[in-house]
Amino acid sequence: MPRFEKLTGVKGMNDIMPPQSAAVEWLEGRIRTVMARYAYKNIRTPIVERTPLFVRGLGQVTDVVEKEMYSFEDRLNGDPLTLRPEGTAGVVRSVIEHSMLYDGGKRFYYIGPMFRHERPQRGRYRQFDQIGAEALGFSGAEIDAELILLAVALWSDLGLTDVRLELNSLGQPEERHEHRKALIAYFESHHDELDEDSRRRLHTNPLRILDTKNPALQKIVDGAPRPIDYLGEQSLAHFSDLKRILDENQVSYTVNPRLVRGLDYYNLTVFEFTTDRLGSQGTVCAGGRYDYLIENLGGKSAPAVGWALGVDRILELLKEQGLGEIDTALDAYAIVANLSGLPRALRVLQKLRSEGVSIQMQASSDSAMASLKSQFKRADSSGAHFALVFGDEEVKTNSVTIKSLRDGTGLQVSQSLDSISDWAPTLQLRA
């Protein structure tokens, strides 16, 4: 037989295995519960979209489009395709394609994998699950506030603390244009002090220089013109309305005039929820208003706002705070003394499972089948709360022995197979 090379996964694209998978499922369940309270409905879009969707939607000179997208050509028809790097553009494409705003605004949420080709690090991987909430067709600041309140409710539901909210307003396109001109003039006066990346962006996307992570540029950035100083009356009113609603709901926040976000489609409100518990990857949820994206992607002009959070970072934050530990222990482990008892045991287990009891049974192909001692060891190591024993004596008496494995009481009782439905509540197997 030839010896085959062992194949491994792609770096930065991780397997999610028990018990971590249980934590992911638990988090997604909490998300769905909170989304339902706010009347946000689930939308699922493909993980592969046409590349122009992201180039037009996110911006040609953004880091995502320039450096991070997994793009390729469809060998069948030559179409340029991309693994989605974020969720908003796909949701907007779907809303346009299916004319979903014909009868008014819509609220959606999504859960699914995204892909970015960047250096893997803690809380930042090449394939990552993202959760997003999008409200399309609504122009008022109350919807910006609703989405922020939704996130705050989620932190409360999860028990998360040490999460701070930062706000800013980028204004409308004409205000951004004036701010852009002022930025270019300012950074041109500091041209020799800029790094290579900032010089490249100076005339294409100077706003992104404000978001630089280069410590050497922080003093220059601190002195740069601020978007909020170029807001007109309506933009200021929108921002004031948002802050007033948050104040009324006792939501703490900081106005950060340097907050710009990394994608081109934002206008007016932008926000981030951050923490100090995750090192350099401190942003756990971010979003803002994107009133012109629908029109830019070929739809009828309509306002919109949304946010996204990374599942990995939320799970890391839960772990840092000692939260999110999921009990994945089985209710029961079935021990069958011999093969002749298997049919009856399976019938009993099926009935108990239909009652909501989680049970694992020793497989007959395992050599330990003939040894009760070995099976009890396996039952104990499985973490199950109870062992269900189907031995020779139980076969004779049409019964099963139920033995507690966890509470230290040594509880061991015999139950008739005629009263199967009574076992779960009586012995609290679902606890």
- H or E element at residue 347: helix 342-354
Compute CA distances 390 → 31, 399, 417, whole Å. Answer: 41, 8, 11
Helix (H, G, I), strand (E, B) or coil at 394: helix
DSSP 226: P
Average pLDDT over residues 405-422: 76
Which one-letter amino acid corresponds to residue 24? Answer: V
Predicted pLDDT at 118 = 81
Task: Give 62-107 pLDDT, tens digit per residue.
Answer: 777 878 899 999 999 999 999 999 999 999 999 999 999 999 999 9
Q: Each residue of 275-313: pLDDT tens digit?
A: 988 876 689 999 999 999 999 999 999 999 999 999 999
Query: Domain 20-171+231-320 classified CATH 3.30.930.10?
Result: yes
Domain 332-427 belongs to what topology? Rossmann fold (3.40.50)
Cis peptide preceding 173, ω within 30 of 0 = no
- Tell me the whole-structure pTM to 2 decimals: 0.86
Sign of dihedral through CA atoms 189, 221, 89, 271? Answer: negative
| Residue 409 binned pLDDT confidence (cut-offs 50, 70, 90) | low
| Every domain of the chain and the residues it spans | 20-171+231-320, 332-427
- pLDDT of 377 reads 85
Tokens standing for residue 388: 């269900």
pLDDT in tens, 107-147: 999 999 999 988 877 767 899 999 999 999 999 999 999 99
Q: Please state, in angstroms and as integers, the Cα–Cα distance from residue 27 to each residue in 6, 302, 325, following that order.
A: 33, 32, 11
